[in-house]
Amino acid sequence: MKKYLLVLCAAAALVACGGNAETPAAASAEKPADISANPDYQKGLALVTKSDCLTCHKVNEASTGPSYKDIATKYASADASIVDTLAGKIIKGGSGNWGQIPMTAHPTLSEEDAKAMVKYVLLLK
Ligand code: HEC
């Protein structure tokens, strides 16, 4: 009984701290909201928007390049080194993993920015 009361109190405290009208349960049910709160998402999206990526990539459908969603799905179970590999590919450009159309090179992009872009893309699965 005591334990039950404790849980109730903790839940009440959570709701009280939530502040907004939104209950914690409603907030966590909305998946895109979770992703967009991620700093990797915000940083990567800002960089991708500033660069030329969106001329060839869309989030949900293939265009000149594969969709970001397909890229995220393809590498979902890859280990952490995939971030370096894909960042290198963005900087150097190349083809072969999705087809014969090459991605243009982005030699002025820093490795750090390219990695931030990859982290954003990989969140979109
Ligand atoms: C000129 C069109 C074009 C532009 C601009 C472009 N891409 Fe691509 N991208 C492609 C193509 C085509 C592929 C598929 C390459 C392949 O088959 O290996 C690709 C593949 C990728 C991949 C997956 C690479 C792999 O080996 O699986 C990532 C990640 C990626 N692009 C991110 C980006 C980012 C971030 C930018 C912006 C800096 C960008 N692309 C700009 C055309 C483009």
Within 10 Å of residue 55's Cβ, how many Cβ atoms? Answer: 10
Which whole-number Å values give the CA distances from 119 to 1, 26, 55, in the listed order? 46, 26, 19
Please report the pLDDT score of residue 80 as a whole number. Answer: 95
Find the 37 Cα to ligand 1 centroid distance in Å.
25
Please report the pLDDT score of residue 34 as a whole number. Answer: 83
How buried is residue 76: exposed, middle or buried, by Cβ count under 10 Å (0-12/13-18/19+)?
A: exposed
Please report the pLDDT score of residue 11 as a whole number. Answer: 46
- Which residues in the chain come in under a pLDDT of 70? 1-33
Query: pLDDT tens digits, residue range 18-33?
Result: 444 555 555 445 555 6
Contacts of 42 (CB under 8 A, 6+ apart): 36
Atom of ligand 1 nearest to the CA of 97: 18
Q: Could you tell me how many residues make up the chain?
A: 125
Q: Is the CB of 54 under 6 A from ligand 1?
A: no
Please report the pLDDT score of residue 83 as a whole number. Answer: 98
Find the 106 Cα to ligand 1 centroid distance in Å.
10
Query: What span, in angstroms and rounded, lies between the C-alpha atoms of 125 and 6?
Result: 38
